[in-house]
Structure 1
Amino acid sequence: MDTSKMLSQCVLVFAAAVAIVSYQSIEASQDTEENGSKKPESTIFFHHTYEEMVSLMYEVNKACPEVTRIYNLSEPSVEKRNLTVLEITENPGVHVPGKPEFKYVANMHGNEVVGKEMVLYFLVALCEEYKRGDKLANFIVSQTRVHVLPSMNPDGWQKAYKELQEKGEAGWLTGRANANDVDLNRNFPDLNAQIYENEKKHKGRNNHLVKVENTIANDKSLQPETRAVMRWFAEIGFVLSSNLHGGDLVANYPYDETRSGKMQEYTACPDDHTFVYLAKSYAYFHATMADPERPPCDKDGDNKPITNGGLWYSVARGMQDYNYLNTNCFEITLELGCKKFPAASELEKYWLDNAAAIYNYVLQTHIGVKGFVKSVDDTPIANAEIKVRSLATGFPIDHDIVSLEDGDYYRLLGNGYYHIQAKAEGFHPRSKCIRIENNIHVGVPSYDLRPATQMNFTLNPTKLPQESDKKEDYNCERLWNEVQMETQLEDRELLVSVLSYLQPQTKWSLLADQLSTLELYSLLAEALKELNPDQMREVLERLPHAVQEQLELVISAHMSK
């Protein structure tokens, strides 16, 4: 990522930051005390109680009625507080085919409060900037359906806030769980165990593993907050999401639960390459998350900006992996700071640190490819499987997404060359190839803000003969040759050098002439698997970025087997 561009990101979003400072209509009229002192009037930077949070959401709705809608999830919390969502998009309240759905979920752990405030400020800023005609805000609102749930655990927040008022600080764990003392991020169905078993047997589904209502009926341990968001995820075809936490400063990506059962082990999901891209899209647009000089939150920890969940520490039954394995949605977990419940006086600084990244991450809903799957008579085909294979490695990405009711699909993909197939029961499959070059981020000129590349599929019923598509066959062959030419000439010597370093007992310089570039990548992936995570990271960091990307695809495919 271009450092000069990153330095300008906060400046480019500063208007949005300023917008929330001037948004005073609700705050100036409030007189609630915080820790014995009155909240400053004419500021939004304080800890919003549940009532104030909902009131602010209604203020945003009132300020931007044509592009916002407020709704509650299907169940309230244990203590009967509604789980309230604000939607912001043109034509709110309906799914527009071709427009992807995005969500921010904050305050899942009630005592981790920064995310809650950040998404509230984001709603205010986005509304204000949209009204002012800002091009970035207009693109987000017109091209994306954004849903924000500021507090998934309002009961836990209340418990932590009460202790803050009574004792001057909230305990590290006070309010983390819900009112039934259940950690909501350990309360989802354990789908990792199922997918790992499917991987071993090389059979079974790799997506949408369970029926939501059946699971809710049979699993009595599921909490009302968990049940409500599970139904929400099933109802809306979310494409991208983030779950906002606190207590560290890092962007965390799947899988969270290790395959081996070890407490710490890099556990790649099939879309590891894309998730690394997504995690970086937040971390490198945050003011300090990717700063190599910043001190770690834990003196015994590190300050790396992104981490694989399993490598950090294994988490079973988490919301992040549930999203990936039971919906079309890709979710990462964002830890927004070392303090879980910082002083209100620090919130403005948190916003300035996060504003560019919060906007930038929403834009990533538009990476990869999207389109429609229809039959030859133009009828939309729902539940068509979108299957992807890397042209660079030859390996499939063993995670399919499915088309929605109107036949629309959205497949997030990192940069690279891909073979994409649409497959539906009762129809002949159809394949196309594409090169993905994502370039959508905060700071690009407004004329370069574009939705994902559109790739449509028209499927013939199996009762009719399959028609050949020579144009697409030629395109796939052309792109395959292109990626081979790009990688073979530049990579072979480097791959042989790295293999010789890792396995000096093997005469790789002699063997290389008998091996294809893809075989060299595969052998290097196998050699890297023998290293511990720190050693693997050290080797990868020494490789050119283009080689890292190709190797990550191979490693991801190997680790998911």
Structure 2
Amino acid sequence: MSSLTLFFCLGSLVSWGSSLEFRYYNTVELEDYLKAVNRNYSSITHLYSIGKSVEGRDLWVLILGKYPTKHKIGIPEFKYVGNMHGNEVVGRVLLLQLIEHLTQGYLSDPVVTCLLNTTRIHILPSMNPDGFEASTRNCLYSQGRFNKHGVDLNRNFPDVFTQNDMERELEVQAVMDWLKSEPFVLSANLHGGAVVASYPYDNSNGGEELQRGSSIAPDNDVFIHLAKTYSFNHKRMRNGNNCYDSQIFKDGITNGYSWYPLPGGMQDYNYVWGQCLEITLELSCCKYPPEKDLPGLWDDNKDALLAYIQLVHLGVKGQVLNSNGTPVENALVEVKDKNNLCPFKTNRNGEYYRLLLPGNYTLKVTIPGQKEAMTETLSIPYGPDKYSALTHNFVFKRNTYSSPDVTPSAEICTSKLKIQDSSHSPALAPSHLTVLLLMALCPFLL
């Protein structure tokens, strides 16, 4: 690392020499640990609850970064979510170990230091604490997968392809509200029962997204890169045949739908409505392995967990500014040939983040209520190596407002749905309720 880069990455911190054991911490112990970390590393951490479970347990999130208490322009937001299925416990353990590694490595480990100075990292160790507390220590057949209402949380999110107008569980609603509160760019949720990195789409309605048995998202190239980065930095995942009862996954990755269709999944919801690219990481053959296996599982995953965070710096970021230099909220930022179901929009600071692989891309920016769009072609390098995506602001030189206003963002969102014609089975087409749900949600997840 160059002296300039090292200077860029430095900050101030008093170290704390605790040691986290490789064992399963119950909910009270987990909360106590997070509070202790927040006390001892107050300059780089912030602890908060995004809501409560059915039984009233807090869903604690620890933020780590140089600016932990609030979003800073140009600093991307990243998140890890563990223990969505209460009996899939490895992710819960690994995320606590990751917290320990990040806090203790700040200012001594160059990778950790740069990650924390250039990224705001949110860690939710347990999305389903009630399920965890109900779990039994069985490799594959432990109870506790569902929440206290008996609902699979990874089937409870709104789905763009399938009608699922069920009531949203408290834990799911908390995550949906969380997505509204922060401009997340990249995410992964940690599961167990296989060893593979799965990427969107998880579902399909038989439209043009369905190709050769896979449901292909507009950012499929980026998703494959995200998944392969994790699998190839993992000690064994890239082998693709790690569990005796599992299918073979080439390079240790799979398209979610190709593996098995999953309606109401969290990763599709993050991507379509949250503007946050998320993949699902299956990290152990046993859902609830014996504690003696935990050190080896951490060793398998440590480098991959860090390398994946670094990918938040892919592509391009910046602000959209009007002729007065004022940031523009809700400006559409679209990439040619990437027809996202919900167009990516700027946040309240006029910021946009687009994860893109290196190459030349044409971006089109549209300000609400303005006649003319701005189109520019950018040459985008590989940002993760430098811990920063390309920064490019779009500055509109003059205002040319139209009357009436441009098409509302909800209509733009639904116009890109792959609604099938009558030649397809009606069961494969989105219902009217699904379309209305999409229209209702898109404007608020900005």
| Match of residue 461, structure 1, among 385, 399, 404 | 399
| Match of residue 235, structure 2, among 282, 287, 290 | 287
Task: State whether structure 2 residue 93 is matched by structure 1 residue 117.
Answer: yes
| Match of residue 277, structure 2, among 330, 338, 360 | 330
Aligned counterparts of 1:249 and 1:171: Cα–Cα separation in 2? 14
2:226 partner amino acid = L
| Match of residue 178, structure 1, among 128, 147, 162 | 147
Matching of residues 74-473 of structure 1 within 5 Å: 75-130=51-106, 132-160=107-135, 163-164=136-137, 169=138, 172-193=141-162, 221-260=167-206, 265-291=213-239, 295-299=241-245, 301-304=247-250, 305-389=252-336, 395-399=337-341, 400-427=343-370, 428-438=372-382, 440=384, 448-459=385-396, 460-463=398-401
Residues 111 and 341 in structure 1, CA contact (< 8 A), matched pair in contact too:
yes
Q: Offset of 1:300 from its aligned partner? A: 5.7
1:143 partner amino acid = T
Q: How many correspondences in the alignment?
A: 381
| Match of residue 50, structure 1, among 6, 27, 30 | 27
Q: Offset of 1:437 from its aligned partner? A: 3.1
Aligned counterparts of 1:23 and 1:121: Cα–Cα separation in 2? 15
Greater shift, 406-415 or 238-247, is seen at 406-415
2:228 partner amino acid = K
Unaligned runs of 5+ in 2: 1-14, 403-446
Matching of residues 487-526 of structure 1 within 5 Å: none
Residues 362 and 378 in structure 2, CA contact (< 8 A), matched pair in contact too:
yes
Aligned counterparts of 2:37 and 2:237: Cα–Cα separation in 1? 29
Aligned counterparts of 1:170 and 1:81: Cα–Cα separation in 2? 25
Map Cα deviations across residues 31-56 of structure 1 (whole Å, 9 max, x no partner): xxxxxxxxxxx651111111111111
Residues 197 and 253 in structure 2, CA contact (< 8 A), matched pair in contact too:
yes
Q: Offset of 1:179 from its aligned partner? A: 0.7
Aligned counterparts of 1:422 and 1:108: Cα–Cα separation in 2? 36
Q: Offset of 1:136 from its aligned partner? A: 1.3
Q: Offset of 1:450 from its aligned partner? A: 3.0
2:176 partner amino acid = M
Aligned counterparts of 1:384 and 1:95: Cα–Cα separation in 2? 19
1:344 partner amino acid = E
3-state SS in 2 of match to 1:320: helix
Unaligned runs of 5+ in 1: 1-21, 26-41, 195-214, 390-394, 441-447, 465-561
Aligned counterparts of 2:245 and 2:282: Cα–Cα separation in 1? 17
Q: Which has the higher contact order (CA 8 A, sep 6+)?
A: 2
Aligned counterparts of 2:86 and 2:199: Cα–Cα separation in 1? 21
- The alignment's C-alpha RMSD in Å is 2.1
Which aligned runs of 4 or more in structure 1 are off by greater than 3 angstroms? 22-25, 395-399
1:65 partner amino acid = S
Name the structure where helix makes up a greater proportion of residues.
1
**Matched residue, 1:476:** none
Map Cα deviations across residues 95-132 of structure 1 (whole Å, 9 max, x no partner): 111111000000000000011111111111101001x4
Aligned counterparts of 1:432 and 1:64: Cα–Cα separation in 2? 43
Aligned counterparts of 2:287 and 2:17: Cα–Cα separation in 1? 26
Aligned counterparts of 2:133 and 2:380: Cα–Cα separation in 1? 45
Q: TM-score, normalised by structure 2?
A: 0.81
Q: TM-score, normalised by structure 1?
A: 0.65
Aligned counterparts of 2:389 and 2:254: Cα–Cα separation in 1? 26
Map Cα deviations across residues 145-191 of structure 1 (whole Å, 9 max, x no partner): 1100000000100111xx33xxxx36625100001100000001122
Residues 102 and 146 in structure 1, CA contact (< 8 A), matched pair in contact too:
yes
Aligned counterparts of 1:63 and 1:291: Cα–Cα separation in 2? 40
The 3 A distance-change label for structure 1 pair 173 and 414 is farther
2:388 partner amino acid = P
Q: Offset of 1:325 from its aligned partner? A: 1.0
Q: Offset of 1:68 from its aligned partner? A: 0.4
Q: Offset of 1:24 from its aligned partner? A: 6.6
